[in-house]
Structure 1
């Protein structure tokens, strides 16, 4: 009888450890996902900033060309 209780306790312990391990893995994936999303947002913002800078330069050039044509 004691042997059966011991074996059941081992099974329960293993099952609990597997569940805890799965929970930890899931949390790590969520954290990595958040980090990846943050990196993507930062890259997107940098690309937008560069695009705006380029657009500003192009607008300035176009305005300068228009002013030259008017003179």
Structure 2
């Protein structure tokens, strides 16, 4: 799944959301408006971050640094 760029993007985006979304639910007030604003802000952060981390040059650089 990590062989294609789309697979890397989806894996990274889901991994960030799996960690971040429960934290936002626990750490923000229970109001529906606040939850919607925080979730929207989270998506604005997650999608560009996952795109950057899944970019071929950055992904190869991270793999080289990890070895």
Q: TM-score, normalised by structure 2?
A: 0.37
Structure showing greater Rg? 1
Q: TM-score, normalised by structure 1?
A: 0.35
- Pick the structure with more helix per residue: 1
* Greater RCO, CA 8 A, separation 6+: 2
